[in-house]
Structure 1
Protein backbone atom coordinates (compact mmCIF):
# COMPACT_ATOMS: atom_id res chain seq x y z
CA UNK A 1 0.00 0.00 0.00
CA UNK A 2 1.48 3.37 -1.01
CA UNK A 3 2.26 5.85 1.73
CA UNK A 4 1.30 9.52 1.84
CA UNK A 5 3.32 12.32 3.34
CA UNK A 6 1.71 13.45 6.57
CA UNK A 7 0.37 17.05 6.41
CA UNK A 8 0.22 18.62 9.87
CA UNK A 9 -1.08 21.98 11.09
CA UNK A 10 0.91 24.35 13.28
CA UNK A 11 -0.48 27.42 15.06
CA UNK A 12 1.84 30.45 14.87
CA UNK A 13 2.18 30.95 18.62
CA UNK A 14 5.13 30.62 20.94
CA UNK A 15 3.26 28.34 23.32
CA UNK A 16 3.62 25.36 20.94
CA UNK A 17 7.32 25.97 20.21
CA UNK A 18 8.41 22.97 22.34
CA UNK A 19 6.23 20.69 20.20
CA UNK A 20 7.00 22.05 16.74
CA UNK A 21 10.63 23.16 16.97
CA UNK A 22 11.84 19.53 16.99
CA UNK A 23 9.88 19.02 13.75
CA UNK A 24 10.89 22.29 12.10
CA UNK A 25 14.57 21.84 12.95
CA UNK A 26 14.82 18.31 11.54
CA UNK A 27 15.28 16.60 14.90
CA UNK A 28 12.23 14.45 14.10
CA UNK A 29 13.20 13.93 10.45
CA UNK A 30 11.62 15.65 7.46
CA UNK A 31 9.15 13.13 6.04
CA UNK A 32 6.11 15.32 6.77
CA UNK A 33 4.81 18.76 5.78
CA UNK A 34 3.97 21.56 8.20
CA UNK A 35 1.21 24.06 7.35
CA UNK A 36 0.83 27.27 9.39
CA UNK A 37 -2.25 29.20 10.50
CA UNK A 38 -4.31 30.59 13.36
CA UNK A 39 -6.36 28.13 15.42
CA UNK A 40 -9.51 29.09 13.49
CA UNK A 41 -7.74 28.70 10.13
CA UNK A 42 -6.40 25.27 11.04
CA UNK A 43 -9.86 24.19 12.20
CA UNK A 44 -11.23 25.16 8.77
CA UNK A 45 -8.41 23.37 6.91
CA UNK A 46 -9.01 20.19 8.91
CA UNK A 47 -12.74 20.41 8.15
CA UNK A 48 -11.98 20.77 4.41
CA UNK A 49 -9.60 17.79 4.42
CA UNK A 50 -6.54 19.93 3.63
CA UNK A 51 -4.65 18.62 6.68
CA UNK A 52 -4.30 15.11 8.06
CA UNK A 53 -3.43 16.01 11.66
CA UNK A 54 -3.28 19.30 13.50
CA UNK A 55 -3.60 21.19 16.69
CA UNK A 56 -7.29 22.08 16.99
CA UNK A 57 -9.33 24.24 19.31
CA UNK A 58 -10.99 22.22 22.07
CA UNK A 59 -14.35 23.56 20.93
CA UNK A 60 -13.66 22.28 17.40
CA UNK A 61 -13.33 18.77 18.78
CA UNK A 62 -16.43 19.29 20.92
CA UNK A 63 -18.46 20.36 17.87
CA UNK A 64 -17.11 17.82 15.36
CA UNK A 65 -15.79 14.86 17.34
CA UNK A 66 -17.26 12.43 14.82
CA UNK A 67 -14.72 13.71 12.26
CA UNK A 68 -11.61 13.27 14.42
CA UNK A 69 -9.58 11.03 16.67
CA UNK A 70 -7.64 12.66 19.50
CA UNK A 71 -3.89 12.06 19.46
CA UNK A 72 -3.02 10.60 22.86
CA UNK A 73 -1.24 12.52 25.64
CA UNK A 74 -0.71 15.82 23.88
CA UNK A 75 -2.56 19.09 24.40
CA UNK A 76 -1.97 22.78 25.09
CA UNK A 77 -3.43 24.25 28.23
CA UNK A 78 -2.68 25.59 31.67
CA UNK A 79 -3.16 24.74 35.31
CA UNK A 80 -3.31 28.31 36.54
CA UNK A 81 -2.22 31.53 34.80
CA UNK A 82 -1.74 30.96 31.07
CA UNK A 83 -0.55 34.54 30.30
CA UNK A 84 -1.36 34.27 26.59
CA UNK A 85 -5.16 34.14 26.83
CA UNK A 86 -5.95 37.44 28.45
CA UNK A 87 -8.77 39.94 28.85
CA UNK A 88 -7.31 43.44 29.02
CA UNK A 89 -9.53 46.24 30.24
CA UNK A 90 -9.57 49.98 30.87
CA UNK A 91 -12.06 49.43 33.69
CA UNK A 92 -12.08 47.01 36.64
CA UNK A 93 -13.50 43.65 35.54
CA UNK A 94 -16.44 43.95 37.96
CA UNK A 95 -17.36 47.32 36.42
CA UNK A 96 -17.78 45.97 32.87
CA UNK A 97 -21.52 45.39 33.32
CA UNK A 98 -23.25 46.52 30.12
CA UNK A 99 -19.97 47.18 28.29
CA UNK A 100 -18.85 45.66 24.98
CA UNK A 101 -15.81 43.37 24.86
CA UNK A 102 -13.81 43.10 21.65
CA UNK A 103 -13.19 39.40 21.09
CA UNK A 104 -10.58 37.96 18.75
CA UNK A 105 -11.75 35.75 15.89
CA UNK A 106 -8.54 33.70 16.04
CA UNK A 107 -9.62 31.26 18.76
CA UNK A 108 -13.13 29.93 19.15
CA UNK A 109 -12.25 28.13 22.39
CA UNK A 110 -10.96 31.25 24.13
CA UNK A 111 -14.03 33.23 23.05
CA UNK A 112 -16.33 30.48 24.36
CA UNK A 113 -14.43 30.34 27.66
CA UNK A 114 -14.71 34.13 28.01
CA UNK A 115 -18.48 34.00 27.54
CA UNK A 116 -18.74 31.14 30.02
CA UNK A 117 -16.70 32.93 32.68
CA UNK A 118 -18.67 36.17 32.45
CA UNK A 119 -22.03 34.40 32.33
CA UNK A 120 -21.58 31.65 34.90
CA UNK A 121 -18.62 32.55 37.12
CA UNK A 122 -18.27 36.33 37.25
CA UNK A 123 -21.99 36.86 36.56
CA UNK A 124 -21.31 40.15 34.79
CA UNK A 125 -23.58 40.90 31.83
CA UNK A 126 -21.54 42.13 28.86
CA UNK A 127 -21.86 42.29 25.09
CA UNK A 128 -19.36 41.05 22.51
CA UNK A 129 -18.08 42.12 19.14
CA UNK A 130 -15.54 40.30 17.00
CA UNK A 131 -12.53 42.03 15.51
CA UNK A 132 -8.78 42.51 15.50
CA UNK A 133 -7.41 44.01 18.70
CA UNK A 134 -4.14 45.03 17.07
CA UNK A 135 -5.87 46.77 14.17
CA UNK A 136 -8.13 48.70 16.56
CA UNK A 137 -5.18 49.84 18.62
CA UNK A 138 -3.21 50.86 15.54
CA UNK A 139 -6.18 52.97 14.46
CA UNK A 140 -6.22 54.67 17.86
CA UNK A 141 -9.65 53.24 18.69
CA UNK A 142 -9.25 51.77 22.14
CA UNK A 143 -11.93 49.26 23.15
CA UNK A 144 -13.10 49.28 26.74
CA UNK A 145 -11.96 45.68 27.05
CA UNK A 146 -10.52 43.11 24.65
CA UNK A 147 -9.72 39.41 24.55
CA UNK A 148 -6.18 38.79 23.30
CA UNK A 149 -4.55 35.44 22.65
CA UNK A 150 -1.14 34.08 21.75
CA UNK A 151 1.78 36.38 21.08
CA UNK A 152 -0.55 39.39 20.93
CA UNK A 153 -1.52 38.77 24.57
CA UNK A 154 2.14 38.52 25.60
CA UNK A 155 2.80 41.88 23.93
CA UNK A 156 -0.21 43.65 25.45
CA UNK A 157 -0.21 42.20 28.97
CA UNK A 158 1.83 45.16 30.25
CA UNK A 159 0.18 47.86 28.12
CA UNK A 160 -0.49 50.78 30.46
CA UNK A 161 -3.61 51.77 28.56
CA UNK A 162 -5.27 48.63 29.93
CA UNK A 163 -4.44 48.47 33.65
CA UNK A 164 -6.93 45.68 34.45
CA UNK A 165 -6.53 42.08 33.33
CA UNK A 166 -8.24 38.73 33.61
CA UNK A 167 -6.13 35.67 32.86
CA UNK A 168 -8.66 33.14 31.54
CA UNK A 169 -6.60 30.10 32.51
CA UNK A 170 -6.25 31.35 36.07
CA UNK A 171 -9.97 32.20 36.30
CA UNK A 172 -10.93 28.69 35.14
CA UNK A 173 -8.58 27.10 37.69
CA UNK A 174 -10.02 29.26 40.50
CA UNK A 175 -13.55 28.31 39.42
CA UNK A 176 -13.11 24.58 38.86
CA UNK A 177 -9.82 23.48 40.40
CA UNK A 178 -8.93 21.78 37.09
CA UNK A 179 -6.55 22.47 34.20
CA UNK A 180 -8.04 24.17 31.17
CA UNK A 181 -7.28 22.63 27.78
CA UNK A 182 -7.34 25.28 25.06
CA UNK A 183 -6.28 22.97 22.27
CA UNK A 184 -5.85 19.32 21.43
CA UNK A 185 -4.19 17.46 18.58
CA UNK A 186 -6.44 15.53 16.25
CA UNK A 187 -6.21 13.36 13.18
CA UNK A 188 -8.94 13.18 10.57
CA UNK A 189 -10.93 9.95 10.67
CA UNK A 190 -11.32 10.20 6.91
CA UNK A 191 -7.55 10.46 6.45
CA UNK A 192 -7.01 7.40 8.65
CA UNK A 193 -9.51 5.41 6.60
CA UNK A 194 -7.81 6.36 3.33
CA UNK A 195 -4.53 4.58 4.02
CA UNK A 196 -0.91 4.86 5.07
CA UNK A 197 1.18 7.81 6.17
CA UNK A 198 4.94 8.18 6.05
CA UNK A 199 4.87 8.62 9.84
CA UNK A 200 2.67 7.57 12.72
CA UNK A 201 1.30 10.96 13.84
CA UNK A 202 0.80 9.90 17.46
CA UNK A 203 4.41 8.80 17.82
CA UNK A 204 5.70 11.86 15.97
CA UNK A 205 3.90 14.39 18.16
CA UNK A 206 4.61 12.72 21.49
CA UNK A 207 8.30 12.30 20.67
CA UNK A 208 8.49 15.93 19.58
CA UNK A 209 6.75 17.03 22.80
CA UNK A 210 9.11 14.93 24.91
CA UNK A 211 12.17 16.37 23.13
CA UNK A 212 10.93 19.95 23.42
CA UNK A 213 10.05 19.73 27.11
CA UNK A 214 13.37 17.99 27.86
CA UNK A 215 15.15 20.92 26.17
CA UNK A 216 12.98 23.65 27.63
CA UNK A 217 15.81 26.05 28.39
CA UNK A 218 16.64 26.13 24.68
CA UNK A 219 12.97 26.83 23.94
CA UNK A 220 12.98 29.66 26.51
CA UNK A 221 16.04 31.28 24.95
CA UNK A 222 14.56 31.11 21.46
CA UNK A 223 11.23 32.52 22.62
CA UNK A 224 12.90 35.34 24.57
CA UNK A 225 14.60 36.45 21.36
CA UNK A 226 11.20 37.66 20.12
CA UNK A 227 11.36 40.47 22.68
CA UNK A 228 7.83 39.89 23.98
CA UNK A 229 9.04 38.92 27.46
CA UNK A 230 12.31 38.76 29.33
CA UNK A 231 14.03 35.42 29.55
CA UNK A 232 12.89 34.96 33.15
CA UNK A 233 9.29 35.90 32.31
CA UNK A 234 9.38 33.54 29.33
CA UNK A 235 10.63 30.78 31.62
CA UNK A 236 7.66 31.45 33.94
CA UNK A 237 5.34 31.44 30.93
CA UNK A 238 6.41 28.02 29.70
CA UNK A 239 6.41 26.63 33.25
CA UNK A 240 2.71 27.44 33.52
CA UNK A 241 1.72 25.60 30.35
CA UNK A 242 0.35 22.06 30.18
CA UNK A 243 1.31 19.82 27.25
CA UNK A 244 -0.14 16.52 28.49
CA UNK A 245 -3.64 15.08 28.14
CA UNK A 246 -3.81 12.75 31.12
CA UNK A 247 -6.52 12.18 33.73
CA UNK A 248 -6.77 15.69 35.22
CA UNK A 249 -6.46 17.37 31.84
CA UNK A 250 -9.16 15.10 30.43
CA UNK A 251 -11.40 15.95 33.38
CA UNK A 252 -10.94 19.66 32.65
CA UNK A 253 -11.69 19.15 28.97
CA UNK A 254 -14.83 17.11 29.67
CA UNK A 255 -16.08 19.69 32.19
CA UNK A 256 -15.62 22.46 29.62
CA UNK A 257 -17.62 20.45 27.09
CA UNK A 258 -20.32 19.72 29.66
CA UNK A 259 -20.71 23.44 30.31
CA UNK A 260 -20.76 24.16 26.59
CA UNK A 261 -23.59 21.66 26.25
CA UNK A 262 -25.39 23.17 29.23
CA UNK A 263 -25.24 26.58 27.53
CA UNK A 264 -26.53 25.15 24.25
CA UNK A 265 -23.26 25.82 22.40
CA UNK A 266 -22.89 22.14 21.47
CA UNK A 267 -25.73 19.59 21.21
CA UNK A 268 -24.13 16.95 23.45
CA UNK A 269 -20.86 16.05 25.16
CA UNK A 270 -18.80 13.79 22.89
CA UNK A 271 -16.65 10.91 24.08
CA UNK A 272 -12.87 11.31 24.06
CA UNK A 273 -11.88 8.84 21.33
CA UNK A 274 -8.14 8.39 20.93
CA UNK A 275 -6.18 7.37 17.86
CA UNK A 276 -4.52 3.96 18.12
CA UNK A 277 -2.01 3.57 15.32
CA UNK A 278 -1.41 -0.16 15.78
CA UNK A 279 -5.13 -0.94 15.84
CA UNK A 280 -6.36 1.50 13.19
CA UNK A 281 -3.95 1.06 10.28
CA UNK A 282 -3.25 -2.03 8.14
CA UNK A 283 -0.11 -4.02 9.08
CA UNK A 284 1.56 -3.05 5.80
CA UNK A 285 1.41 0.61 6.90
CA UNK A 286 3.51 -0.03 9.98
CA UNK A 287 7.13 0.99 9.57
CA UNK A 288 10.28 0.31 11.56
CA UNK A 289 10.30 3.94 12.69
CA UNK A 290 6.74 3.67 14.03
CA UNK A 291 7.69 0.60 16.06
CA UNK A 292 10.88 2.03 17.58
Structure 2
Protein backbone atom coordinates (compact mmCIF):
# COMPACT_ATOMS: atom_id res chain seq x y z
CA UNK A 1 0.00 0.00 0.00
CA UNK A 2 1.16 3.52 -0.80
CA UNK A 3 -0.10 6.43 1.28
CA UNK A 4 -0.14 9.88 -0.31
CA UNK A 5 0.83 12.69 2.05
CA UNK A 6 0.29 16.26 0.87
CA UNK A 7 3.43 18.26 1.62
CA UNK A 8 1.63 21.26 3.15
CA UNK A 9 1.36 22.24 6.79
CA UNK A 10 -2.45 22.38 6.80
CA UNK A 11 -2.86 18.59 6.60
CA UNK A 12 -0.12 17.59 9.07
CA UNK A 13 -2.54 16.75 11.94
CA UNK A 14 -4.03 13.86 9.96
CA UNK A 15 -0.59 12.22 9.64
CA UNK A 16 1.31 13.50 12.66
CA UNK A 17 0.86 10.49 14.95
CA UNK A 18 0.90 7.70 12.39
CA UNK A 19 3.13 4.83 13.50
CA UNK A 20 5.38 5.01 10.46
CA UNK A 21 7.71 2.25 11.61
CA UNK A 22 4.78 -0.15 12.00
CA UNK A 23 3.46 0.87 8.61
CA UNK A 24 6.85 0.25 7.01
CA UNK A 25 6.91 -3.20 8.62
CA UNK A 26 3.58 -3.86 6.89
CA UNK A 27 5.11 -2.96 3.55
CA UNK A 28 3.53 0.50 3.40
CA UNK A 29 5.28 3.37 1.63
CA UNK A 30 4.47 7.07 1.98
CA UNK A 31 4.76 9.52 -0.90
CA UNK A 32 5.10 13.25 -0.18
CA UNK A 33 4.03 15.72 -2.86
CA UNK A 34 1.88 18.77 -3.58
CA UNK A 35 -1.87 18.13 -3.94
CA UNK A 36 -1.94 18.02 -7.74
CA UNK A 37 0.82 15.39 -7.76
CA UNK A 38 -0.91 13.18 -5.15
CA UNK A 39 -4.13 13.51 -7.18
CA UNK A 40 -2.37 12.32 -10.33
CA UNK A 41 -0.63 9.42 -8.59
CA UNK A 42 -3.91 8.19 -7.14
CA UNK A 43 -5.65 8.47 -10.51
CA UNK A 44 -2.83 6.35 -11.97
CA UNK A 45 -3.19 3.78 -9.15
CA UNK A 46 0.23 4.62 -7.72
CA UNK A 47 -1.28 5.92 -4.47
CA UNK A 48 -3.92 3.88 -2.66
CA UNK A 49 -5.10 6.17 0.13
CA UNK A 50 -4.32 9.75 1.00
CA UNK A 51 -5.30 13.36 1.24
CA UNK A 52 -6.47 14.51 -2.16
CA UNK A 53 -8.11 17.63 -3.53
CA UNK A 54 -11.89 17.66 -3.20
CA UNK A 55 -12.06 18.40 -6.93
CA UNK A 56 -10.05 15.26 -7.67
CA UNK A 57 -12.48 13.25 -5.57
CA UNK A 58 -15.33 14.74 -7.58
CA UNK A 59 -13.74 13.64 -10.85
CA UNK A 60 -13.18 10.11 -9.55
CA UNK A 61 -16.11 9.60 -7.18
CA UNK A 62 -17.12 6.36 -8.91
CA UNK A 63 -13.73 4.85 -8.09
CA UNK A 64 -12.96 6.41 -4.68
CA UNK A 65 -14.53 6.34 -1.23
CA UNK A 66 -14.03 8.66 1.71
CA UNK A 67 -12.42 7.86 5.03
CA UNK A 68 -15.14 9.18 7.37
CA UNK A 69 -14.81 12.29 9.52
CA UNK A 70 -11.65 13.64 7.89
CA UNK A 71 -11.13 16.72 5.73
CA UNK A 72 -9.22 19.96 5.49
CA UNK A 73 -11.96 22.57 5.58
CA UNK A 74 -12.80 26.03 6.85
CA UNK A 75 -15.81 27.96 8.02
CA UNK A 76 -14.59 31.26 6.66
CA UNK A 77 -10.95 32.28 6.35
CA UNK A 78 -8.57 29.45 5.55
CA UNK A 79 -5.47 31.71 5.64
CA UNK A 80 -3.53 29.71 3.07
CA UNK A 81 -5.51 30.05 -0.16
CA UNK A 82 -5.21 33.56 -1.51
CA UNK A 83 -5.87 35.52 -4.67
CA UNK A 84 -3.29 38.31 -4.89
CA UNK A 85 -4.43 41.02 -7.28
CA UNK A 86 -3.38 44.39 -8.66
CA UNK A 87 -7.10 45.23 -8.94
CA UNK A 88 -10.18 44.87 -6.79
CA UNK A 89 -11.82 41.52 -7.44
CA UNK A 90 -14.90 43.10 -9.03
CA UNK A 91 -12.62 44.95 -11.48
CA UNK A 92 -10.84 41.88 -12.85
CA UNK A 93 -12.91 41.59 -16.04
CA UNK A 94 -10.71 40.87 -19.08
CA UNK A 95 -7.63 40.58 -16.88
CA UNK A 96 -5.07 37.74 -16.79
CA UNK A 97 -4.72 35.49 -13.75
CA UNK A 98 -1.90 33.04 -13.04
CA UNK A 99 -3.07 29.83 -11.39
CA UNK A 100 -0.83 27.68 -9.20
CA UNK A 101 0.06 24.32 -10.69
CA UNK A 102 -0.18 22.79 -7.19
CA UNK A 103 -3.96 22.77 -6.85
CA UNK A 104 -7.20 21.55 -8.39
CA UNK A 105 -9.79 22.39 -5.73
CA UNK A 106 -8.71 26.01 -5.31
CA UNK A 107 -8.34 26.60 -9.04
CA UNK A 108 -11.91 25.44 -9.59
CA UNK A 109 -13.07 27.42 -6.55
CA UNK A 110 -11.58 30.64 -7.91
CA UNK A 111 -13.30 30.09 -11.25
CA UNK A 112 -16.62 29.46 -9.46
CA UNK A 113 -16.21 32.58 -7.32
CA UNK A 114 -15.38 34.89 -10.21
CA UNK A 115 -18.05 33.45 -12.52
CA UNK A 116 -20.97 32.82 -10.14
CA UNK A 117 -20.42 35.34 -7.35
CA UNK A 118 -18.87 38.30 -9.20
CA UNK A 119 -19.81 37.78 -12.85
CA UNK A 120 -16.21 38.42 -13.87
CA UNK A 121 -14.76 36.87 -17.02
CA UNK A 122 -10.97 36.56 -17.07
CA UNK A 123 -8.26 34.55 -18.82
CA UNK A 124 -6.30 31.95 -16.87
CA UNK A 125 -2.87 30.40 -17.23
CA UNK A 126 -1.38 27.68 -15.01
CA UNK A 127 2.12 28.52 -13.77
CA UNK A 128 4.68 27.14 -11.37
CA UNK A 129 3.93 28.86 -8.04
CA UNK A 130 6.21 31.88 -7.62
CA UNK A 131 4.69 35.04 -6.18
CA UNK A 132 6.97 37.66 -7.75
CA UNK A 133 7.23 36.05 -11.18
CA UNK A 134 3.49 35.51 -11.42
CA UNK A 135 2.67 39.12 -10.66
CA UNK A 136 5.39 40.35 -12.98
CA UNK A 137 3.48 38.91 -15.93
CA UNK A 138 -0.15 38.73 -14.73
CA UNK A 139 -2.77 40.97 -13.15
CA UNK A 140 -3.43 38.54 -10.30
CA UNK A 141 -2.28 35.14 -9.06
CA UNK A 142 -3.67 32.28 -7.04
CA UNK A 143 -1.42 30.57 -4.50
CA UNK A 144 -2.20 27.87 -1.96
CA UNK A 145 -0.65 26.22 1.07
CA UNK A 146 2.79 27.22 2.26
CA UNK A 147 3.38 29.20 -0.96
CA UNK A 148 0.37 31.36 -0.10
CA UNK A 149 1.43 31.84 3.52
CA UNK A 150 4.89 32.96 2.43
CA UNK A 151 3.49 35.32 -0.21
CA UNK A 152 0.99 36.84 2.24
CA UNK A 153 3.86 38.08 4.39
CA UNK A 154 5.16 40.19 1.49
CA UNK A 155 1.90 41.04 -0.29
CA UNK A 156 2.29 44.73 0.46
CA UNK A 157 -0.09 46.94 -1.54
CA UNK A 158 -1.76 44.11 -3.45
CA UNK A 159 -5.42 43.29 -2.91
CA UNK A 160 -5.57 39.95 -1.08
CA UNK A 161 -8.65 37.71 -1.06
CA UNK A 162 -9.08 34.60 1.07
CA UNK A 163 -11.13 32.14 -0.99
CA UNK A 164 -12.44 30.33 2.07
CA UNK A 165 -13.80 33.59 3.44
CA UNK A 166 -15.52 34.51 0.17
CA UNK A 167 -17.09 31.04 -0.12
CA UNK A 168 -18.48 31.17 3.41
CA UNK A 169 -19.82 34.71 2.96
CA UNK A 170 -21.62 33.70 -0.22
CA UNK A 171 -22.93 30.26 0.84
CA UNK A 172 -22.95 30.03 4.64
CA UNK A 173 -21.36 26.59 4.28
CA UNK A 174 -17.87 25.28 4.98
CA UNK A 175 -15.45 24.93 2.09
CA UNK A 176 -13.86 21.50 1.86
CA UNK A 177 -10.43 21.83 0.27
CA UNK A 178 -9.16 18.28 0.75
CA UNK A 179 -10.62 14.93 1.75
CA UNK A 180 -9.07 11.66 2.84
CA UNK A 181 -9.98 9.10 0.20
CA UNK A 182 -8.98 5.65 -0.97
CA UNK A 183 -9.33 3.62 -4.13
CA UNK A 184 -12.33 1.28 -3.81
CA UNK A 185 -10.38 -1.87 -4.67
CA UNK A 186 -8.34 -1.44 -1.48
CA UNK A 187 -11.34 -2.73 0.50
CA UNK A 188 -10.93 -6.21 -0.96
CA UNK A 189 -7.18 -6.15 -1.62
CA UNK A 190 -5.98 -4.78 1.72
CA UNK A 191 -9.09 -4.33 3.87
CA UNK A 192 -7.54 -4.79 7.32
CA UNK A 193 -4.58 -2.53 6.54
CA UNK A 194 -6.91 0.06 5.03
CA UNK A 195 -8.98 0.00 8.21
CA UNK A 196 -5.87 0.41 10.37
CA UNK A 197 -4.60 3.38 8.34
CA UNK A 198 -7.98 5.12 8.33
CA UNK A 199 -8.47 4.71 12.08
CA UNK A 200 -4.90 5.85 12.74
CA UNK A 201 -5.52 9.05 10.79
CA UNK A 202 -8.68 9.76 12.75
CA UNK A 203 -6.83 9.12 16.03
CA UNK A 204 -3.98 11.39 14.92
CA UNK A 205 -6.41 14.22 14.17
CA UNK A 206 -8.20 13.80 17.49
CA UNK A 207 -4.97 13.72 19.49
CA UNK A 208 -3.68 16.86 17.77
CA UNK A 209 -6.96 18.60 18.59
CA UNK A 210 -6.77 17.53 22.27
CA UNK A 211 -3.24 18.92 22.42
CA UNK A 212 -4.42 22.16 20.78
CA UNK A 213 -1.89 21.44 17.98
CA UNK A 214 1.06 22.48 20.19
CA UNK A 215 3.49 19.68 19.10
CA UNK A 216 2.52 20.28 15.46
CA UNK A 217 3.12 24.02 15.83
CA UNK A 218 6.56 23.46 17.36
CA UNK A 219 7.54 21.28 14.40
CA UNK A 220 6.21 23.78 11.86
CA UNK A 221 8.10 26.61 13.56
CA UNK A 222 11.41 24.79 13.02
CA UNK A 223 10.59 24.08 9.38
CA UNK A 224 8.85 27.29 8.29
CA UNK A 225 9.54 29.96 10.89
CA UNK A 226 6.91 32.51 11.82
CA UNK A 227 5.48 32.92 15.30
CA UNK A 228 3.75 30.51 17.64
CA UNK A 229 0.74 32.85 17.72
CA UNK A 230 0.39 32.81 13.92
CA UNK A 231 0.47 29.02 13.64
CA UNK A 232 -1.79 28.58 16.67
CA UNK A 233 -4.39 30.80 15.01
CA UNK A 234 -3.85 29.05 11.69
CA UNK A 235 -4.40 25.49 12.87
CA UNK A 236 -7.26 26.39 15.16
CA UNK A 237 -8.92 28.22 12.26
CA UNK A 238 -8.95 25.07 10.15
CA UNK A 239 -11.58 22.35 10.43
CA UNK A 240 -10.70 18.68 10.13
CA UNK A 241 -14.15 17.10 10.47
CA UNK A 242 -16.59 15.83 7.88
CA UNK A 243 -20.20 16.27 9.00
CA UNK A 244 -23.54 16.92 7.37
CA UNK A 245 -22.62 20.58 6.87
CA UNK A 246 -19.45 19.53 5.09
CA UNK A 247 -21.47 17.24 2.85
CA UNK A 248 -23.77 20.15 1.96
CA UNK A 249 -20.79 22.40 1.25
CA UNK A 250 -19.09 19.82 -0.92
CA UNK A 251 -22.31 19.06 -2.81
CA UNK A 252 -22.81 22.76 -3.55
CA UNK A 253 -19.20 23.10 -4.69
CA UNK A 254 -19.67 20.17 -7.08
CA UNK A 255 -23.00 21.55 -8.31
CA UNK A 256 -21.44 24.92 -9.13
CA UNK A 257 -18.44 23.21 -10.73
CA UNK A 258 -20.83 21.36 -13.05
CA UNK A 259 -22.70 24.58 -13.86
CA UNK A 260 -19.39 26.27 -14.72
CA UNK A 261 -18.36 23.38 -16.95
CA UNK A 262 -15.51 22.32 -14.68
CA UNK A 263 -16.98 18.88 -13.93
CA UNK A 264 -18.84 16.87 -16.55
CA UNK A 265 -21.40 15.31 -14.23
CA UNK A 266 -22.55 15.71 -10.64
CA UNK A 267 -20.55 13.23 -8.59
CA UNK A 268 -22.42 10.51 -6.76
CA UNK A 269 -20.84 11.31 -3.47
CA UNK A 270 -20.49 10.41 -0.06
CA UNK A 271 -20.65 6.69 0.17
CA UNK A 272 -19.25 5.58 3.47
CA UNK A 273 -18.30 2.07 2.44
CA UNK A 274 -15.12 2.32 4.53
CA UNK A 275 -15.18 0.05 7.59
TM-score, structure 1 normalization: 0.86
Q: Secondary structure at the match of 1:172?
A: helix
Using a 3 Å threshold, how does the CA distance of structure 1 residues 140 and 273 change in structure 2: closer, same or farther? closer
Gaps of 5+ in 1: 1-5, 278-292
Q: Secondary structure at the match of 1:257?
A: helix
Using a 3 Å threshold, how does the CA distance of structure 1 residues 140 and 243 change in structure 2: closer, same or farther? closer
- What does the per-residue CA deviation read over 1:160-203, in whole Å, with 9 as the maximum and x for residues that have no partner? 45521110000000000010001111111122232444352321
Deviation at 1:224, TM superposition (A): 2.5
- What does the per-residue CA deviation read over 1:60-93, in whole Å, with 9 as the maximum and x for residues that have no partner? 1111111111110000111110011100112222
Q: 1:178 aligns with which of 170, 173, 176?
A: 173
- Stretch of structure 1 that moved more, 266-275 or 137-146: 137-146
TM-score, structure 2 normalization: 0.91
Using a 3 Å threshold, how does the CA distance of structure 1 residues 24 and 152 change in structure 2: closer, same or farther? farther
Residue number in structure 1 paired with 2:38: 42
Task: Report if aligned partners of 2:187, 2:194 keep a CA contact under 8 Å in 1.
Answer: no
Mapped partners of 1:219, 1:27: distance in 2: 21
Mapped partners of 1:218, 1:144: distance in 2: 39
Q: 1:18 aligns with which of 3, 13, 20?
A: 13
Mapped partners of 2:153, 2:137: distance in 1: 15
**Is the aligned partner of 1:204 residue 2:200?**
yes
| CA RMSD of superposed structures (Å) | 2.2
**Is the aligned partner of 1:270 residue 2:265?**
no
**Is the aligned partner of 1:112 residue 2:139?**
no
**Is the aligned partner of 1:127 residue 2:156?**
no
Mapped partners of 1:43, 1:140: distance in 2: 27
List aligned pairs for 1:36-75, cutoff 5 A.
36-75=32-71
Using a 3 Å threshold, how does the CA distance of structure 1 residues 239 and 28 change in structure 2: closer, same or farther? farther
Residue number in structure 1 paired with 2:218: 221
Mapped partners of 1:137, 1:16: distance in 2: 26
Task: Report if aligned partners of 1:72, 1:275 keep a CA contact under 8 Å in 2.
Answer: no
Gaps of 5+ in 2: none
**Is the aligned partner of 1:253 residue 2:243?**
no
Q: Secondary structure at the match of 1:9?
A: strand
Mapped partners of 2:83, 2:134: distance in 1: 20
Count matched residues. 271
Residue number in structure 2 paired with 1:235: 232
Deviation at 1:262, TM superposition (A): 2.0
Deviation at 1:142, TM superposition (A): 4.8
- Stretch of structure 1 that moved more, 41-50 or 188-197: 188-197
Larger C-alpha radius of gyration, 1 or 2?
A: 1
